[in-house]
Chain A
Amino acid sequence: MFYLAAEGGGAADHNPILPAWQELVVGGIAFILLCVVLMKFVFPRMEQTFQARVDAIEGGIKRAEAAQAEANKLLEQYRAQLAEARTDAAKIRDDARADAEGIRQDILAKAREESDRIIAAGKEQLAAERATIVRELRAEVGTIAVDLASKIVGESLADEARRKGTVDRFLSGLESAGAR
């Protein structure tokens, strides 16, 4: 075995600082094979994976930010719409209140006018009726009084002019007495 050879000056056969060319060849082939496989099929894919991971994380953050921004925008929009709707409602209420007040005032004014008109018409009618009645009464009272006087006095008061003057005087006397 080799240790016998070593005893027989084997150390002189091998200089450890001089490379054996066969080992250089074998090592070269093996190492280049390793380099080709790893540098071609493994590490570039790792770089891709790293990049994909970075993209995924950054993309996720970006997407989340975009979604957040959109949500905020929608919220703002809803708030604005809500505020607008509230303002509208308040305005409508105010308008309605004002309208109702106006209508009430109108109706009141109309009613007052109507009542005034009715009252005025009633008064007028009353006055007219009263005048008519007074006129009729006056004529009738005159006749009755003349008739009565004729019967009482027994004399014919045919003289138209006298009779008329007497009655009128009497009535005037009555009226002035009533007024007093």
Chain B
Amino acid sequence: MQRINDPSLPPRIVAVYFGEGAASEGDFHAALNIAATRSCPVVFICRNNGYAISTPTLDQYRGDGIASRGIGYGIDTIRVDGNDVWAVREATKKARQMALQDGGKPILIEAMSYRVSHHSTSDDSFAYRARVEVEDWKRRDNPISRLRKYMEAKEIWDEAKDKEAREGIKRDVLKAFSQAEREKKPPIRAMFEDVYEELTPELRAQMQELRDYLERYPDEYDLGEYEGGKNSLDS
């Protein structure tokens, strides 16, 4: 739409990433349907990794994965091996091209994979699946080792480069951590901002109220770590 008004803008598409679990939500279906009927240049990229936290795909759907749903909504759909970096790249590239054809249309990609990690740092996935299953996948079909093998075959990667990269990256991450830890936290005022474009009178009053508490009880709050301390609350 923006390009109709301003043809100098580069052609753009929207890429939407989600898992097979999210595809059960009502908004997935609503989004596919409206994107199809309104011919929106959207590439829906579903990463089907077999688990939504603990829920396996067997509890998630009974049809032919997520890809079959795209066809139902009249959307061109492709299913790729999600553990093959080049296949995913190729499919996405083609999908982008197609999405911009005929004045725009949505495309659905279902990338098949397996979640070798836990759902999050707070999840222990061995409570609902066998450790051996995970190890098996890690060994048999691991996108990282597959890419590494490909690169080694092309002689653009080797053990030395691997070691160097691992150490370098680890160093960079730790450096970033220590830098971030030294930085002050954002001002307390930020808590009230960006709720509305402008602070409302109510929020201003609440800021003042909070400032009064902080002033009245200096020992009860640790404000040193926040940029500007309590003064950031001055309106």
Asked if chains A and B come from one complex, the reply is no
* Partner-B contacts on A (CB < 8 A): none
